[in-house]
A = this chain, B = another copy of it.
Amino acid sequence: MSGNSDVFAPRGSPAEVEEARLLSPKFDADGLIACVATDARTGEVLMVAHMNAEALRKTIETGEAWYFSRSRKKLWRKGETSGHSQRVVEMRVDCDQDAILVKVEQTGAACHTGRRSCFYRAVPLGRIDARPIALEFCDAEKLFDPRAVYGDPQKR
């Protein structure tokens, strides 16, 4: 399989990055770009993760979501352990090409805690009465048991 260097265009001026038809992603100092995954059917934001150049290329080529795990420091196909893979229906890049959006068909649930989306807690808005701020659980139903899928967290 060929490398990534000729797949992505070099970064040009801001005007070129914003208005040109060339994919020239901006990877950060760690070689990563943020990626938002949404449910292709409902638009719900499922998760935010990171891709390195190889994960981005593999996602484009295969139509399956690949990410780079910052904690485990490894390339990772979404669902490779859990079976909860993401088929990418559409991919977008943002104006300055430092963020990716994938609209996906999510098998099972996106969140490793068992929830459909990683965003299962709300931050109340307005005057800050409680210190620290208290969260509210919402849409937090677990669709699977993370221990059954990933094993005991102490032994992972």
Contacts and interface: CB of A to CB of B under 8 A. Distances in A.
Interface of A: 6-9, 14-15, 18-24, 34, 36, 38, 42-45, 47-48, 57, 60-61, 63, 88, 90-96, 98-101, 111-113, 115, 118-128, 131-137, 153
Given A61-B127, A132-B6, A135-B21, A111 B95 contact: yes
A111 B127 CA distance: 29
Sort A-B residue pairs by CB-CB distance and give the 4 closest, nearest first: A43-B43, A9-B132, A92-B119, A48-B99
A93 B135 contact: yes
A64 to B, nearest CB: 10
A106 to B, nearest CB: 15
Contacts of A121: 21, 92-93
